[in-house]
Structure 1
Amino acid sequence: MNILGFFQRLGRALQLPIAVLPVAALLLRFGQPDLLNMPFIAQAGGGIFDNLALIFAIGVASSWSKDSAGAAALAGGIGYFILTKAMITINPAVNMGVLAGIITGLVGGMVYNRWSDIKLPDFLSFFGGKRFVPIATGFFCLILAAIFGYVWPPVQDAIRAGGEWIVGAGAFGAGIFGFVNRLLIPTGLHQVLNTIAWFQIGDFTNAAGTVFHGDINRFYAGDGTAGMFMSGFFPIMMFGLPGAAFAMYFAAPKERRPLVGGMLLSVALTAFLTGVTEPLEFLFMFLAPLLYLVHAILTGISLYIATALGIHAGFSFSAGAIDYALMYNLPAASKNVWMLLVMGVIFFIVYFVLFTVIIRAFNLKTPGREDDVAETGAQETNSNTEEGMSQLALSYVSALGGSDNLKGIDACITRLRLNVKDSAQVNDVLAKRLGASGVIRLNKQTVQVIVGTRAESIAAAMRTVIATGPIAAATAAPTAAPVADVKPQAVPNTPKVVLETLISPITGEVVALAQVPDEAFASGAVGEGLAIRPTSKTVVAPANGVIVKFFNTNHAFCLETESGAEVVVHIGLDTVALNGQGFTRLVEEGATVIVGQPVLELDLDYLNGNARSMISPVVVSNMEDYAGIALLAGETVVAGESKLYEIQSK
């Protein structure tokens, strides 16, 4: 992984622990005397802020691990306790704050990815596999404690000095932070910068003697000097960017405004209420970079003005109306936070006027003004149902170059963060037709797709559909929105020609495809066929052909038969998460096989005990080339002997 890819992934990992802050803010706020006057609720919220470093250790470890594992999260927590306790024994002045949690979380996640499937000698086998992860993490964190106990004090002093310089620079320092924060949005590295400003810079000691670091921590702990890295964002996110959305709407030709009006209203309302601005920013970030530069400058100006006016405001998640209302009467909020609303109205006008003038003066291709209006509106598959989400995920995988091109799928709040073999294989036009606001190629192997606040759901669905079998790359952009999977229909009363007959690759009990507890298979989205619950360990080739794809985890393969049918044999459901355990590959990808030839061997005892389900679909994935299939199998089948189904030519 290159440096940029590392920080991209770190930015994503930081999202999980940051996501708990709104809960803490709600509890802390509603427990105050001017609302519910229930100290135990306020203390519940305070407990989260008091233990943020530990929360970061657990959250980062879980997010960094390859399957969001609980063992990694536990390892991150154990590593944090070992690191911090051992460090202060060496030097009581050491206080790494949230950075200690981030570092131990990274160690826990990396150890999990490297050694979660380790096999130890029989007499130590109890400590193998995932149990080894917390042990190894503790060992590495003990070494880090010995290092940081001596190395960190000067680093800590340097961070404090840098923070004091920025704080000492006052309004200028806040303005520079706001400007750089927006410039880093396209890369996703703004989260790393934010973590330093919001959770590390500055110290505050409360009446109980507890020390808090960072703008957010200090603000919610009652520090009336906190907020210089947060206050100025409220006018921009609540008012400025919605003003930009209105400018883009009125800049579009009248006949095209209905096409973009709903989209612009949606992203503007999201920015105002929640402070999530990326869906709106990505609408013009690449279409009109000049506008984005103006936006970054105005953000810096807003933070400069807010700090110069002595406004102290804060947020738990982002600078939207919800956070503004929650923090308005907090002890750390200055009496003049109402001025942010006045600033907001002014920035709304400034954004609206500047964006309108610049768009028209330079004829910028903002939404509704593109040369090809057919590309403007996002034409999404209905993803309100599981089937719709699966279809949308399939379409995204195809648009991104197919499953072979995707090496890693992550997501943050609004974007898919992808590691690919070749970013040139990503189909930008198709991705935008599916609803993406933009596609960012950071380098040949790193791509981001802006899909809005459903990014996590789409990423999870993409991982699920990829686990079901190979997915081909889209060869061209469609001329219409994707629709639900339509199964080929044979022409009535037309003689059906049997092109090929498949035999069973597994011995076991037959299960109808519609009864498979996986929507992608049950809906026929992957292909037509049936499923088998294995009762023997050998998996054979169902026909003569070539193994065109063998998954690295050995849980599935695709056989292209001599007649061109693409047969996917997928052993179990969600078995990709087993990382190859329980499977032994007997042939390699690219091998030519004959019907009945052993291809895979199963450890059924292990798989039955660890797989979510051992129901194994056997489907033809390119059914659009054929008229249909005719099932031949009875209630049970024998590998290499029983006929499974016939493939009928058109």
Structure 2
Amino acid sequence: MNILGFFQRLGRALQLPIAVLPVAALLLRFGLPDLLNVPFIAQAGGAIFENLALIFAIGVASSWSRDSAGAAALAGAVGYFVLTKAMVTINPEINMGVLAGIITGLVGGAVYNRWSGIKLPDFLSFFGGKRFVPIATGFFCLVLAAIFGYVWPPVQHAIHAGGEWIVSAGALGSGIFGFINRLLIPTGLHQVLNTIAWFQIGEYTNAAGAIFHGDINRFYAGDGSAGMFMSGFFPIMMFGLPGAALAMYLAAPKARRPMVGGMLLSVAITAFLTGVTEPLEFLFMFLAPLLYLLHAVLTGISLFIATLLDIHAGFSFSAGAIDYVLMYNLPAASNNVWILLVMGLIFFVIYFVLFSAVIRLFNLKTPGREDKDGSVVLEEANSNTEEGMLQLATSYIAAIGGSDNLKAIDACITRLRLSVGDSARVSDAMCKRLGASGVVKLNKQTIQVIVGAKAESISDAMKKVVARGPVAAASADAVSAAAAPVAKPKAASAAATVVELVAPVSGEVVALDQVPDEAFASKAVGDGVALKPTGKTVVAPAAGTIVKIFNTNHAFCLETEKGAEIVVHMGIDTVALNGQGFTRLVDEGVEVTAGQPILEMDLEYLNAHARSMISPVVCSNIDDFSGLAIKAQGQVVAGQTPLYEIKSK
């Protein structure tokens, strides 16, 4: 696992223990005198904050284990007690806070993944398998305690000094934190940064002598100086981003506003109520990076101003209206938290005006303004039912290149975190048509698909689908041959003909939008037509070079002399047949003439075993030309009937 992959996975593992904070905040808030005045409820919530490091140990260990194992969670707890008690025996000043829980959780999860299936000699067999995991974790954490007992004090002093420096920087420090926090959102690494600020920096001792670290912990423990890393997020999440959503809605052409209006309204309400902003941010993060940079700067400014005005507010989960109401009268909340609402209204106007002006000034491709036809088309299955969720999960697996390209499935609050064999095989266009806000390809093996609040459910469904058996790619091999989603070609009957294609197989012409494959039907792979074959020989549709024949022999790519890239894909999901039913007649790299045989098919076998034998013939780089003119309809003859012409610009 590379460094980026490690921190990606760590950020996801931190989500489970963080998820308990809203419950703790609710219990603590409703138990206070100004609401229900029930002390035992308040104490119940306070107990979670007081034992947050242990909760992190259990949650991180469970999330880090390959199957969210209870044995790993127990190992995390055992490791935490061993590490913390042994360290303070060496040096009583040591207090690692939640870092102790994170470290022991990682150890517990890693030990489970490595040794949960260990076989011991017969006389020790009772301690083998999963029972070995807490034992080994305790041993490793004892070794870590011996090391940290001497190594950690200077590190602790350095963290304390760094935290004091950031706090002493005041408004500037919080502003920088807010700016970097937003910049890290695309990578998912913001959770690692948040953990340091919200659970480690700063120290507060309550009347009972309990010590709390981090902005969130200290705020809910009653520290009136906490909140500098939280307060300024409220105006942005509750008001600023909804203002951006309104700007994007009004910037869209009137004809497209109904298409994007419902989507923008739903993500804006989500941001306002809950503070979950990623579904909205990913709508413009990659379509208009300039807007996202502006958003990051404005977030930093908001935190800067909130700290400058000495506003102390906090949240248990995120800076939405729900958290704002719950924290309003908490002891640690300053008397001027109402100013955040005023700031919010101002930031709503600022976001609306700036986004509106920048979108129009630079003609940015925000939702509804993209060049391609039907730029925002959500075709998500009815995921409110189990069957619909499994169908949606299957479609996502196909969109990322099939189960053979899928190496690991994970998720956080709003995104699927996937490890793949080759990110080039992932169809961004199909993912977006399934409902994704965007696809982030961090490197060749690591991608994130932004799907909103259903990420965890989709992730679980994908695991179930993969466990049942292989899922073929949605023509992912052909998608990888196409560089990007393609704009709808312009009418080009008057332009010069670059090349005329003949039918590569005898059969019946089928419109491309009737192909039972999302990538081809949406023209994400390219434009052209499809054929339902009746003949067994597949020929070259034009003269050129065979640049690629896929290993399973079900498809090939041909480049003509004028640079047109033609993909001939025989059948749908035929890649799953592992080459059965196809015989290759030429090798890659050879030059062929129009009508020269390329493949031989066992059509009876393929009709019986393939999902569909409708075969797309598309130009994958049609955006390099002005368009194409369809010449054929009805029945065609391989190597003889003109299929379509590609026109020059």
Structure 1 length normalisation: TM-score? 0.75
User: Structure 1 residue 298: deviation in Å?
Assistant: 0.2
Alignment deviations for residues 176-234 of structure 1 (CA, whole Å, 9 cap, x no partner): 00000000000000000000000000000000011100000000000000000000000
Q: 1:57–1:76: 8 Å Cα contact kept in structure 2?
A: yes
User: Structure 1 residue 8: deviation in Å?
Assistant: 0.2
1:11 equivalent in structure 2: 11
Give the Cα separation in 1 of the matches to 2:48 and 2:403: 40
1:224 equivalent in structure 2: 224
**Poorly superposed stretches of 4+, deviation over 6 Å:** 480-484, 558-564
Q: 2:17–2:55: 8 Å Cα contact kept in structure 1?
A: yes
User: Structure 1 residue 373: deviation in Å?
Assistant: 3.5
2:189 equivalent in structure 1: 189
Q: What secondary structure, in the 3-state scheme, does the structure 2 residue paired with 1:448 have?
A: strand
1:71 equivalent in structure 2: 71
Q: What secondary structure, in the 3-state scheme, does the structure 2 residue paired with 1:407 have?
A: strand
User: How does 1:504-515 map onto structure 2 within 5 Å?
Assistant: none
User: How does 1:105-120 map onto structure 2 within 5 Å?
Assistant: 105-120=105-120
User: How does 1:64-213 map onto structure 2 within 5 Å?
Assistant: 64-213=64-213
2:262 equivalent in structure 1: 262
Q: 2:516–2:612: 8 Å Cα contact kept in structure 1?
A: no
Alignment deviations for residues 408-436 of structure 1 (CA, whole Å, 9 cap, x no partner): 11000000001111111110000000000
User: Structure 1 residue 111: deviation in Å?
Assistant: 0.5
Q: What secondary structure, in the 3-state scheme, does the structure 1 residue paired with 2:192 have?
A: helix
Q: 1:27–1:45: 8 Å Cα contact kept in structure 2?
A: yes
User: Structure 1 residue 120: deviation in Å?
Assistant: 1.1
When residues 420 and 483 of structure 1 are mapped into structure 2, their CA distance, relative to the original with a 3 A threshold, is closer
When residues 483 and 385 of structure 1 are mapped into structure 2, their CA distance, relative to the original with a 3 A threshold, is farther
2:328 equivalent in structure 1: 328
**Identity between Structure 1 and Structure 2 (%):** 79
2:276 equivalent in structure 1: 276
Amino acid at match of 1:454: K
User: Structure 1 residue 125: deviation in Å?
Assistant: 1.0
User: Structure 1 residue 242: deviation in Å?
Assistant: 0.3
Amino acid at match of 2:309: L
Give the Cα separation in 2 of the matches to 1:65 and 1:481: 41
When residues 131 and 392 of structure 1 are mapped into structure 2, their CA distance, relative to the original with a 3 A threshold, is same
Q: 2:202–2:215: 8 Å Cα contact kept in structure 1?
A: yes
User: How does 1:367-386 map onto structure 2 within 5 Å?
Assistant: 367-386=367-386
When residues 482 and 36 of structure 1 are mapped into structure 2, their CA distance, relative to the original with a 3 A threshold, is farther
Q: What secondary structure, in the 3-state scheme, does the structure 1 residue paired with 2:461 have?
A: helix
User: Structure 1 residue 479: deviation in Å?
Assistant: 4.7
Amino acid at match of 1:126: F
When residues 44 and 483 of structure 1 are mapped into structure 2, their CA distance, relative to the original with a 3 A threshold, is farther
User: Structure 1 residue 451: deviation in Å?
Assistant: 0.3
1:417 equivalent in structure 2: 417
Q: What secondary structure, in the 3-state scheme, does the structure 2 residue paired with 1:404 have?
A: coil
Give the Cα separation in 1 of the matches to 2:517 and 2:392: 9
Alignment deviations for residues 244-290 of structure 1 (CA, whole Å, 9 cap, x no partner): 00000000011110000000000000000000000000000000000
Q: What secondary structure, in the 3-state scheme, does the structure 1 residue paired with 2:256 have?
A: helix
Q: 1:118–1:129: 8 Å Cα contact kept in structure 2?
A: yes
Q: 2:474–2:517: 8 Å Cα contact kept in structure 1?
A: no
2:38 equivalent in structure 1: 38
Give the Cα separation in 1 of the matches to 2:413 and 2:260: 23
Q: 2:56–2:105: 8 Å Cα contact kept in structure 1?
A: yes
Amino acid at match of 1:77: A
Give the Cα separation in 2 of the matches to 1:383 and 1:449: 17
Q: In the comparison of the two structures, how many residue pairs are matched?
A: 500
2:457 equivalent in structure 1: 457
Amino acid at match of 1:138: G
1:238 equivalent in structure 2: 238
Q: 1:226–1:312: 8 Å Cα contact kept in structure 2?
A: yes
Amino acid at match of 1:200: Q
2:591 equivalent in structure 1: none
Q: 1:434–1:481: 8 Å Cα contact kept in structure 2?
A: no
Q: 2:314–2:333: 8 Å Cα contact kept in structure 1?
A: yes
1:247 equivalent in structure 2: 247
User: How does 1:396-475 map onto structure 2 within 5 Å?
Assistant: 396-475=396-475
User: Structure 1 residue 379: deviation in Å?
Assistant: 1.6
Give the Cα separation in 2 of the matches to 1:560 and 1:279: 38
User: Structure 1 residue 375: deviation in Å?
Assistant: 2.8
Give the Cα separation in 1 of the matches to 2:127 and 2:292: 53
Give the Cα separation in 2 of the matches to 1:201 and 1:323: 22
Give the Cα separation in 1 of the matches to 2:581 and 2:74: 51
User: How does 1:511-526 map onto structure 2 within 5 Å?
Assistant: none
When residues 364 and 481 of structure 1 are mapped into structure 2, their CA distance, relative to the original with a 3 A threshold, is farther
Q: CA RMSD in A?
A: 1.9
Asked if 1:297 corresponds to 2:301, the answer is no
Alignment deviations for residues 447-471 of structure 1 (CA, whole Å, 9 cap, x no partner): 0110000000000101110111111
1:360 equivalent in structure 2: 360
Q: What secondary structure, in the 3-state scheme, does the structure 1 residue paired with 2:204 have?
A: strand
Give the Cα separation in 1 of the matches to 2:469 and 2:386: 18
Alignment deviations for residues 128-177 of structure 1 (CA, whole Å, 9 cap, x no partner): 11111111111100000000000000000000000000000000000000
Q: 1:413–1:453: 8 Å Cα contact kept in structure 2?
A: yes
Q: 2:367–2:375: 8 Å Cα contact kept in structure 1?
A: no
Q: What secondary structure, in the 3-state scheme, does the structure 1 residue paired with 2:346 have?
A: helix
Q: 1:381–1:483: 8 Å Cα contact kept in structure 2?
A: no
Q: 1:436–1:452: 8 Å Cα contact kept in structure 2?
A: yes
1:647 equivalent in structure 2: none
User: How does 1:22-33 map onto structure 2 within 5 Å?
Assistant: 22-33=22-33
Q: What secondary structure, in the 3-state scheme, does the structure 1 residue paired with 2:146 have?
A: helix
Q: 2:229–2:303: 8 Å Cα contact kept in structure 1?
A: yes
Give the Cα separation in 2 of the matches to 1:91 and 1:235: 43
Amino acid at match of 1:136: A
Amino acid at match of 1:326: L
Q: 1:423–1:445: 8 Å Cα contact kept in structure 2?
A: yes
When residues 256 and 295 of structure 1 are mapped into structure 2, their CA distance, relative to the original with a 3 A threshold, is same
Q: What secondary structure, in the 3-state scheme, does the structure 2 residue paired with 1:333 have?
A: coil
When residues 287 and 468 of structure 1 are mapped into structure 2, their CA distance, relative to the original with a 3 A threshold, is same
Amino acid at match of 2:409: I
Give the Cα separation in 1 of the matches to 2:241 and 2:111: 42
Give the Cα separation in 2 of the matches to 1:622 and 1:343: 60
User: Structure 1 residue 377: deviation in Å?
Assistant: 2.5
**Structure 1: runs of 5+ lacking an equivalent:** 485-547, 550-557, 565-619, 627-650
User: Structure 1 residue 323: deviation in Å?
Assistant: 0.1
User: How does 1:472-487 map onto structure 2 within 5 Å?
Assistant: 472-475=472-475, 479=513
Give the Cα separation in 2 of the matches to 1:561 and 1:182: 47
Q: 2:56–2:101: 8 Å Cα contact kept in structure 1?
A: yes
Alignment deviations for residues 41-95 of structure 1 (CA, whole Å, 9 cap, x no partner): 0000000000000000000000000000001000001000000000000000000
User: Structure 1 residue 562: deviation in Å?
Assistant: 6.3
User: Structure 1 residue 124: deviation in Å?
Assistant: 1.1
Q: 2:401–2:472: 8 Å Cα contact kept in structure 1?
A: yes
Give the Cα separation in 2 of the matches to 1:6 and 1:241: 30
User: How does 1:615-634 map onto structure 2 within 5 Å?
Assistant: 622-624=610-612
Q: What secondary structure, in the 3-state scheme, does the structure 1 residue paired with 2:419 have?
A: strand
Give the Cα separation in 2 of the matches to 1:174 and 1:205: 23
Asked if 1:338 corresponds to 2:338, the answer is yes
Amino acid at match of 2:149: G
When residues 252 and 208 of structure 1 are mapped into structure 2, their CA distance, relative to the original with a 3 A threshold, is same
Structure 2 length normalisation: TM-score? 0.75
